[in-house]
Chains A and B, each alone.
Chain A
């Protein structure tokens, strides 16, 4: 199973709203707009993003705003092993009913809509760019509260009963390590630091952990933040059933601290605040289990970068893939730091 390699996840600087220069437009019928969006489409704009997945900003009656995410009709969906879009929509709705802040899904695309596979959400205002969340003066007041909010949100998510969710892939710690093992072997690459990390993961794999719904990519970069804090959690395509501590570990990885290594939670907060809020609503999480998932996450990230190089060499010669491929060494450094007792 491949690591989640959507362009948004691996891009160094995720670019925000921008117009597509090719004049591409979205053919959304008046009937659909009336039924699903409650009015007439007044403007449509493509948002920049991944190659096979499109995001469109839709304005209705010059007032309400929506976001369509889809794979266009006829395109081959490449979600890098993630869940199907209809499943993602069902997950968003289900967790939204259990107190997790998410965008409201107003319509799931049907074949008769002739727009491909995907769904339409009500637009949520806020900032999603990680480096702005970490650095902008406008968030100075809310930053100290974000780690605790994340802990509370994850506690709510991990408490969502599995029986109200659509069928999701199951991936506990052992499967998660096996997945990385298989990826490294399949690559055929000689990677001393990655081998050391993999050996560590095999040795330190927790053998019995609770199972719950895991976001799978919960990090600064997938959070929409406004002046009150986290307004919505985005990008649920990595959602699966697994060890909930995986979400806590992923959130604390050094690569999404946007320069603030001293603030382990997303570059905006402290572990103590994250874990205290999580414990208040749910449970304590032991340090060893958290460390396992942080190291697993870092190896997963490193293998994702390495896969970008392979894709480039196989013919997809984008500068983005080349640049991310060169960042594989960053993951090696973080892994070496963690494996030799480095901590923050």
Chain B
């Protein structure tokens, strides 16, 4: 058992420190790179906090829509992609749209929760 603060907390404070304390002291490319670095660190913090939950939800959701009781994330995703490509499934079907929304919103929650469209839709949905 490791010490506290835990991994996600360390990353969050590292990202905040970069953004609030270090970036203001930099200019030009260094500031630009540091800002991106802070963003990447924050993504990892959110990924750790997610702890595989969104993958699990995606797996369950895809199995239901695809009518399968097995399959890991890559094989289910491939199956779903293939059926959408072949137009056997379509986002015009509410169940399919709901699955794609759920998977995509979960990605944005980790990748970029401040993305304008994500914020707009999260408040509405």
Which residues of A pack against B, CB within 8 Å? 12-13, 15, 18-19, 21, 48, 190-196, 198-199, 254, 257, 259, 261, 319-320, 322-323, 326-327, 329-330, 332-334, 336-337, 339-340
Contacts and interface: CB of A to CB of B under 8 A. Distances in A.
28 contacts: A12-B36, A13-B32, A13-B35, A15-B28, A15-B32, A18-B29, A191-B81, A192-B80, A192-B81, A192-B84, A192-B103, A193-B100, A195-B81, A196-B84, A196-B100, A199-B85, A254-B116, A257-B116, A259-B116, A319-B37, A326-B111, A329-B104, A333-B105, A333-B107, A333-B108, A333-B117, A336-B104, A337-B121
The secondary structure that dominates the A interface is: helix
B117 A326 contact: no
Interface string B40-67: 1001000000000000000000000000
A327 B111 contact: yes
A320 B36 contact: yes
A332 B87 CA distance: 18
Interface residues of B, number: 38
B91 A339 contact: yes
A257 B104 CA distance: 21
Contact of B29 (A48, A193, A257, A339): A48
A15 B111 contact: no
B77 interface: yes
Contact of B104 (A19, A193, A326): A193
Interface string B77-111: 11011101101001100000100110111011001
A190 B117 contact: no
Nearest to B77: A190
B85 A319 contact: no
A259 B119 CA distance: 11
